[in-house]
Amino acid sequence: MRATRFFISTLKEAPADAEIISHKLMMRAGMIKRLGSGIYNYMPMGLRVIRKVEAIVREEMNRAGAVEMLMPVVQPAELWQETGRWQKYGAELMRIKDRHGRDFIIQPTSEEVITDVARSDIKSYRQLPINFYHIQTKFRDERRPRFGLMRGREFTMKDAYSFDRDVESMKKSYAIMFDAYVRIFQRFGLQFRAVAADNGAIGGTGSHEFHVIADTGEDDLVYCPTSDYAANIEAAEALPLASERPTPTQAMTKVSTPGTVKCEQVAELLGIGLQQNVKSLVFAVDGNEEGSVKKQLWLLLLRADHELNEIKMQKVPGLANARMATEEEIIEWFGTEPGYLGPIGAKKALNIVADRTVANMSDFVCGANEANFHLTGVNWERDLPLPAIADLRNVQAGDPSPDGKGVLAIQRGIEVGHVFQLGTNYSEAMKATYLDENGKPQLLQMGCYGIGITRILGAAIEQNFDDKGIVWPTSLAPFEVVICPMGYDRSEQVKAETESLYSALVAAGVDVILDDRGERPGAMFADWELIGVPHRVVIGDRGLKEGKLEYQGRRDTEATAVVVADMVEFIKAKLAA
Amino acid sequence: MRATRFFISTLKEAPADAEIISHKLMMRAGMIKRLGSGIYNYMPMGLRVIRKVEAIVREEMNRAGAVEMLMPVVQPAELWQETGRWQKYGAELMRIKDRHGRDFIIQPTSEEVITDVARSDIKSYRQLPINFYHIQTKFRDERRPRFGLMRGREFTMKDAYSFDRDVESMKKSYAIMFDAYVRIFQRFGLQFRAVAADNGAIGGTGSHEFHVIADTGEDDLVYCPTSDYAANIEAAEALPLASERPTPTQAMTKVSTPGTVKCEQVAELLGIGLQQNVKSLVFAVDGNEEGSVKKQLWLLLLRADHELNEIKMQKVPGLANARMATEEEIIEWFGTEPGYLGPIGAKKALNIVADRTVANMSDFVCGANEANFHLTGVNWERDLPLPAIADLRNVQAGDPSPDGKGVLAIQRGIEVGHVFQLGTNYSEAMKATYLDENGKPQLLQMGCYGIGITRILGAAIEQNFDDKGIVWPTSLAPFEVVICPMGYDRSEQVKAETESLYSALVAAGVDVILDDRGERPGAMFADWELIGVPHRVVIGDRGLKEGKLEYQGRRDTEATAVVVADMVEFIKAKLAA
C-alpha cells in the first residue's frame, strides 16, 4: 500500500471525552472516529486492525471445526419472548418497532436465533456435534458509553454456539473452543489469562473468561503462580485463613469506643490489628405483597480487612435478591445506628452468615449494638452460637490457593472473551431437540463462545503503548512494515531504492506501507510511531552512500544500519521472530 | 472442506411464501433461512457465496484505489436532519430511539455519515481525490418484503463515496468506478448490462445502473444492438416517431362512438389503427392552502399504443408533484366522464402537453368531451393550437435509438448496482468543504456507488438455474468442485483414491468439498445439483477398475471418464476456462 492511495488522518491532541489511553491513541492515530455516543466509524487504519483480528479468529474457529454463518442484526422480539429475555434483559436491549408496529431488537447476542435455527435444522444425532459461529455487528444500549471501543454501544463480536447430544460431548466441544481461544490469543501476540468465571445472567454450568492483562483493566484476576489455578475474583474461592479456631483467651467485654464508626478507628483506639475486628454488613430481602412472606434482615460478618463478594453473597440460599438495608431498617432491627452493629443483642430476629475466615476467629471485636460501644474478646460457641458459614469475601493476594498448591496473586485484566457451558437453558425454553438412535427426542446440550472483536483493539493498546503512541504486536498491526523515504521526490536514488525495496517486500508477502506523502521526517516518524507500526525502514541519501538502510523496531531505542541487499531477509527474520 | 465438517441442510419442497425461483432454490439448497419478514439467516452454504461476492468486489474496489472503512449500522438522526432526509425518506427509513429517547436510524445508505467524516477529515485539496467504501449491513423497512434476498429488509451492500475538487475530477472518479463495476460483473461471470438511469431521490447529475439480465427482472432495459446506447426505460429518450407532421387530409368530424371508453374500442368501431388514436390522461396539481396558488388540471396526450413514463412526466415544469385527477375533478373541468376526453372543448382552462409523437400526428382521433362521442380528423394548428411538447412516453422495441445509430431493443434486468454523480447535493447541505491552493474553502464534489451484495445471489440464480437447481458461475459457487465417492465407507480403494484426489485438489488451491456423509448416490447428486456446484467428480469401484474417475459439469448432460492421474490437471483446465 502507498500512503497516497490510503487515508491517514492523525491528530496532535485527543478529544476531551477520551478518558483512557487506548481511546486517546485510537482517536489520535485516526483509527476510529466518533459518530455518536458509543458509536464509531472504523476508519481505514482501524479497519485494517479489525480485519487482522477477524482473520485470526476465523482461521482458528475453522480449524476447530466450527462452521461460519451469519445471523441478522435485526431480530424479531418473539424469540426473545420465548426465552424470557425480552423481559429480563433490561434497558441495554435495543428494542425497535417496524412500520407495522411489530417488535424487534438489535441483537446484543444470538442465543435465541441460533437455537431457532437448531430446532428446525438439526433433526438427528447424526448431525451432532455442530458448532456455528458468526462475526457480526452487535448493539448494547449502555447507559453511559465510554472508553472508546472498550465500552461502546455498537461493536463487532464473534459468537459461536455448539450443539451436542449429551453433557459429556458438550464438555468436549467446550474444551475444543477453550483450546482454540488459547491459540487465538497466542496468535494475537498479547499477554492474556484464561480464568474461571461466574456464569452470570446467561446461565449454565461452567465458564471461563479470557482477559488481556493490563494495569488499566476493570477486572481482578486471581491466579496461583505455582499452579494452574486462575479465576476472576468474582468466582475465586476464598479458603478460611486459619484451619482451626484458636482457643479463647479473653473474656467478652463491652468497651467504650466513642466516635469509632469504622473498624480502622476501633482498631486504632484499641491498639489492636484490623484483622482482629469483624465488620457487620446488613442486607434486606423483601417479603411478598400479600404479606405471607415477611421481610427479612441478614447480617453478614466479614473480617474487617476483607471485602464482600456480592456474587458469592447472592449464591447463599435466600440472598439471591438481597439489597442493602436502609438506615431505618437497621435501626428497627438493631436498635442502633450503623457503625456499632454486631451479632449479639440485636432487637429483632436476624439471619446471620459468617464468612469462613470469621468462623475461625477467636477473641474478636465487633459492634455492641449500642452507639459508641464495641465488644472485645468475643468467642463463638461461648458468647454466641456459630451461625451459618459461607464463602462471602473476595480473595486477597497472599491467600492460600484453593487447589492447595501455593498462594494467590492478583493482576488486572480486560475481558475480551468468554466461553460458557449453557447446558439446556435455551434448548429447554425453545424446545430444541434432536432424535437419538432410538428415535426419541432429546434436548440439545449447548455451549456459547464470544470474543469482542473490536474490544480486542482497545485491550491490545491498553497493554502495548508508550509515550509516542501505540505499539502493535505484529499480528495485529495495520501494516507490518513502514518504509519512510527521506526526500522521495527530491532524490532519484532514494526513490529508486524505495521502489525497489517496496516491490521486493510486497513480492515477499509482507504487509508494507510506503509513505510517499512527502512529509518532513519528523512528522512522518511521529505519525508512524503514533499509529504503532512495529517495523520501520528509513531510506536516505546519507545511508545509501554507504550502501545502507536504517531499520528500527517500534520498541527499539536506536536504529540499526542494514546493507541494502540484506534488508528483505532482515525484515523477514524480524517478522518470523 | 469435508461435508461432515460443514452443515448441509437441503429441502425437498420450498416453503409456500417463496414466489420466485431464486428464493425457492436458495431456501431448498439451505443457503438462507427465514428469521422474520424480509430477514434471513445466511446459512453456511449461502455465506460462502456472499463471501465470494464480497471478495471480488473488495479486490476490484482496492484495485481502483478506493479505501475500505466501516460506518456504523446505527446512525444519529441529526445528520439525516441536516440533509432533510430524516423527513423525506418515508417509512422505509427504520427510525429508532435509544434509552435516553434520542433518535437514531438503522442505515439504508451512508451519504450523511461519509459527508460528516469528509467535512472533518478532508482539509486540503492535497487529500483529493479520495474514495471511501464499506461493505455493511443495511436495513430498509419495505412495506411488503418478498422474493427472498431480492427485496429483503436487512441486506448487505457495498457503498462507495468519492470526493473530488471539481466536476471534471468527479467525472473521472465516476468513470474509474464505472470501469471497476464492469470488471466486477465480468468476474462474477454473469450476463449484465450497464444502462443510463434516472437519478431519482438521491439527486445529482448523472447515473448508471448495472443490471443482471434475467427474464424475471423488474426493470425494462432499453438498448441499441448496433451501438453503445443503453438506458433504463425510465430514462430512455423517446424520439418522435415521425420526423415531420403529414399534411391534413380529413375534416374534423364529431362521430357517435357509444360505449367506447377505451381507445382499442374506438379503433375497432371506426375500423382504423390504434396508432391513429390519441389518449387523454388527466393529472392534478394542488394549489396551496391560502389559495394564492390555485389547483391546476393537466391533460397529457399520448398515442394510444404508447405508455406514459411517470418519471419523464414529473420532469415537465409544473408537474413534479402531479397526481391522478379524481373523477369529480375530471367532470368539473371537462364537463364529461373519463372515456371521452380530449383537448378540444373542455369546460375549464387546462394545461395541455402533447408527447413528441402526438405533436407530429395528423388526422388523429380523440375524445370529444361529450359522452359517447369522439372527434376524427383532428389536426394541430388548424383545429386547435399546438400545445406544449415533451417526451412523455416509454420507448418501445423498434423505436429509433436516440443516438441515431439503429433501432431499440428491450430486455429485462435486475438492478444490482448503481453509480451516481452526486455533485454538491450533500456537501452543500452539510457544509463539507476543502481548502483549495489559495486557501479558500470549496464544496466537495461527490459521487456514490452501490452494489447489492446479497441481491447478487438472487439475481445470479434468476439468470442461472435449471429444473435440478442452481447453476452457479464458478466464481460465485459455494464450492468449485464436489467429490462424490460411491461407497466411501465400504470400499478401501474408493476411500484411498478419494482422499488422494481431495488432498491434491486442496494443494492445488481448488475450493473443493468432499461429500463424506455416506449418502446414497441419488440423494448425494440431487443435493449438489440443487446447491449448484459447477464441477463434480464421482469416484466408484466400477470406474477405478479401468483406472478412471467420472467428471460432470453442472450443465453437462453426460459424464466424462478421466484417467485418475489426469484429474487434477483436468479440473484446473476446467476452472481456468
pLDDT tens across A426-455, in order? 999 999 999 999 999 999 999 999 999 999
Chain A's closest residue to B454, CA to CA, is A70
Q: Chain B, 52-91: which have a CB under 8 Å from a chain A CB?
A: 65, 67-76, 91
DSSP single-letter state for residue A2: B
Domain end call among B462, B493, B523: B462
Note whether B70 contacts A42, CB cutoff 8 Å: yes
The domain spanning residue A535 has which CATH number? Answer: 3.40.50.800
Note whether A106 contacts B74, CB cutoff 8 Å: yes
Give the integer Cα–Cα distance in Å for A533 and B280: 71
Q: Are residues B448 and B485 in the same domain?
A: no
User: Distance (Å) from the C-alpha of residue B390 to the closest C-alpha of chain A?
Assistant: 38
- Substitution target in B33, B41, B78, B104 with the highest count of A β-carbons within 10 Å is B41
Note whether A141 contacts B98, CB cutoff 8 Å: yes
Q: Chain B, 542-571: which have a CB under 8 Å from a chain A CB?
A: none
In DSSP terms, which residues pair with B68 in a beta bridge? B133
Full 3-state SS string of A456-520: HHHHHHHHCEECCEECCCCCCCCCCEEEEECCCCCCHHHHHHHHHHHHHHHHCCCCEEECCCCCC
What's the mean pLDDT when you consider all of chain B? 95
Contact B415, B219 (CB under 8 A): yes
What grid cell was written down for A544?
545509501
Give the integer Cα–Cα distance in Å for A477 and A152: 22
Residue B314 lies in a domain: yes
How far CA B307 is from CA of B237, B280, B327, in Å, comes to: 13, 11, 21
> Which residues does chain B have within 8 Å of residue A81's beta carbon, measured at their own beta carbons?
none
Question: Residue B494 — pLDDT band, cuts 50, 70, 90?
Answer: very high
Q: How many CA atoms lie within 13 A of A169 on its CB side?
A: 13
pLDDT over 90 (residue A146): no
Give the integer Cα–Cα distance in Å for A217 and A190: 14
Residue A202 lies in a domain: yes
Helical H runs in B246-352? 263-270, 310-315, 327-334
How far CA B342 is from CA of A89, B236, B329, in Å, comes to: 66, 27, 15
At residue A573, what are phi and psi to the nearest 5 degrees?
Answer: -65, -40
Q: Are residues A485 and A448 in the same domain?
A: no
Q: Are residues A264 and A296 in the same domain?
A: yes
User: Looking at residues B383-390, what average pLDDT do you find?
Assistant: 96
Residue B120 lies in a domain: yes
In DSSP terms, which residues pair with A442 in a beta bridge? A434
Label the pairing between strands B535-539 and B548-553: antiparallel
Domain end call among B326, B356, B390: B390
Contact B454, B149 (CB under 8 A): yes
Residue A349 lies in a domain: yes
User: Distance (Å) from the C-alpha of residue A41 to the closest C-alpha of chain B?
Assistant: 5
Structural domain count of chain A: 3
pLDDT over 90 (residue A203): no
Query: Closest partner residue to B137 among A113, A137, A143, by Cβ?
Result: A137
Tell which residue, A306, A259, A264, has the closest CA to residue A281: A306
pLDDT over 80 (residue B205): no
- Substitution target in A27, A41, A430 with the highest count of B β-carbons within 10 Å is A41
Q: How many CA atoms lie within 13 A of B101 on its CB side?
A: 0
Residue A468 lies in a domain: no
pLDDT over 70 (residue B476): yes
Q: Are residues A50 and A186 in the same domain?
A: yes
Give the integer Cα–Cα distance in Å for A406 and A229: 10
Query: Closest partner residue to A40 among B35, B72, B98, by Cβ?
Result: B72
Q: Are residues A186 and A138 in the same domain?
A: yes
Note whether B69 contacts A153, CB cutoff 8 Å: no
Note whether A117 contacts B69, CB cutoff 8 Å: no
Contact A554, A499 (CB under 8 A): no
- Substitution target in B2, B49, B69 with the highest count of A β-carbons within 10 Å is B69
Q: Are residues A152 and A58 in the same domain?
A: yes
Query: Closest partner residue to A99 among B74, B130, B141, by Cβ?
Result: B141
Residue A373 lies in a domain: yes
Strand segments, DSSP code E, in A402-466 are 409-423, 433-435, 441-443, 445-452, 465-466
Give the integer Cα–Cα distance in Å for A505 and A499: 10
Note whether B35 contacts A71, CB cutoff 8 Å: yes
- Substitution target in A11, A62, A69 with the highest count of B β-carbons within 10 Å is A69
> Which residues does chain B have within 8 Å of residue A50's beta carbon, measured at their own beta carbons?
70
pLDDT in tens, B520-537: 999 999 999 999 999 999
Chain A's closest residue to B62, CA to CA, is A5
> Which residues does chain B have within 8 Å of residue A154's beta carbon, measured at their own beta carbons?
72-74
> Which residues does chain A have within 8 Å of residue B68's beta carbon, measured at their own beta carbons?
44, 47
> Which residues does chain A have within 8 Å of residue B50's beta carbon, measured at their own beta carbons?
70
Q: Are residues A414 and A386 in the same domain?
A: no
Name residue, grid cell 474461571.
Answer: A196
User: Looking at residues B186-199, what average pLDDT do you find?
Assistant: 93
Q: For chain B, what percentages of helix, strand and coil (3-state, to nearest 5) are there?
A: 30, 30, 40
User: Distance (Å) from the C-alpha of residue A501 to the closest C-alpha of chain B?
Assistant: 21
Note whether A47 contacts B70, CB cutoff 8 Å: yes
Question: Residue A202 — pLDDT band, cuts 50, 70, 90?
Answer: low
Chain B's closest residue to A30, CA to CA, is B121
- Flag whether residue A137 sits within 8 Å of chain B, measured between CB atoms: yes
Tell which residue, B525, B427, B439, has the closest CA to residue B166: B427
Note whether B116 contacts A35, CB cutoff 8 Å: yes
Note whether A71 contacts B132, CB cutoff 8 Å: no
> Which residues does chain B have within 8 Å of residue A106's beta carbon, measured at their own beta carbons?
73-74, 96, 106
Specify the amino acid at residue A401. Answer: S
Give the integer Cα–Cα distance in Å for B270 and B364: 12
pTM: 0.93
pLDDT over 60 (residue A131): yes
User: Looking at residues A297-324, what average pLDDT do you find?
Assistant: 95
For chain B, what's the residue count? 577
The domain spanning residue B160 has which CATH number? Answer: 3.30.930.10
User: Distance (Å) from the C-alpha of residue B66 to the closest C-alpha of chain A?
Assistant: 8
Name residue, grid cell 439525516.
Answer: B80
Q: Are residues A35 and A151 in the same domain?
A: yes
Handedness of CA B229, B235, B238, B239 (dihedral sign): negative
Q: Are residues A417 and A495 in the same domain?
A: no
> Which residues does chain A have within 8 Å of residue B30's beta carbon, measured at their own beta carbons?
121
Q: Are residues A136 and A191 in the same domain?
A: yes
Q: Are residues B25 and B168 in the same domain?
A: yes
What grid cell was written down for B210?
448495472
pLDDT in tens, B236-245: 999 999 889 9
Contact B153, B138 (CB under 8 A): no
- Substitution target in B2, B6, B39 with the highest count of A β-carbons within 10 Å is B39
Predicted pLDDT at B147: 87
Residue B486 lies in a domain: yes
> Which residues does chain B have within 8 Å of residue A71's beta carbon, measured at their own beta carbons?
35, 41-42
Question: Residue B249 — pLDDT band, cuts 50, 70, 90?
Answer: very high
For every residue of B524-535, DSSP letters joined together read HHHHHHHHT-SE
pLDDT over 60 (residue B204): no
Q: Chain B, 507-536: which have a CB under 8 Å from a chain A CB?
A: none
User: Looking at residues B175-184, what average pLDDT do you find?
Assistant: 98
Name residue, grid cell 524505495.
Answer: A498
Note whether B42 contacts A7, CB cutoff 8 Å: no
Q: Chain A, 106-125: which have a CB under 8 Å from a chain B CB?
A: 106, 113, 116-117, 120-121
Helix (H, G, I), strand (E, B) or coil at A3: helix
Give the integer Cα–Cα distance in Å for A401 and A408: 5
- Flag whether residue A434 sits within 8 Å of chain B, measured between CB atoms: no
Predicted pLDDT at A577: 84
The domain spanning residue B381 has which CATH number? Answer: 3.90.960.10
Query: A488-513: buried (b, 16+ CB within 10 Å) or exposed (e) per residue?
Result: beebeebbebbbebbebbeeeebbbb
Predicted pLDDT at B501: 98
Neighbours of A246 (CB within 10 A): 11
Chain A's closest residue to B518, CA to CA, is A126
Q: Chain B, 9-28: which have a CB under 8 Å from a chain A CB?
A: 9
Query: Closest partner residue to A137 among B40, B73, B104, by Cβ?
Result: B73
Query: Closest partner residue to B75 among A33, A35, A99, by Cβ?
Result: A35
Give the integer Cα–Cα distance in Å for A195 and A189: 18
Question: Residue B202 — pLDDT band, cuts 50, 70, 90?
Answer: low
Q: Report the Cα–Cα distance between both ends of chain A, in Å, rounded.
A: 23
Predicted pLDDT at A243: 85
Contact A131, A79 (CB under 8 A): no
> Which residues does chain B have within 8 Å of residue A69's beta carbon, measured at their own beta carbons?
7, 41-44, 47
> Which residues does chain A have within 8 Å of residue B106's beta carbon, measured at their own beta carbons?
73-74, 96, 106
Residue B213 lies in a domain: no
Query: Closest partner residue to A35 among B9, B106, B113, by Cβ?
Result: B113
pLDDT in tens, A335-352: 998 999 999 999 999 999
Q: Are residues B313 and B376 in the same domain?
A: yes
pLDDT over 70 (residue A518): yes
pLDDT in tens, B299-345: 999 999 999 999 999 999 999 999 999 999 999 999 998 999 999 99
Chain B's closest residue to A45, CA to CA, is B69
What is the domain extent for residue A485? 479-576
User: Looking at residues A54-69, what average pLDDT do you find?
Assistant: 98
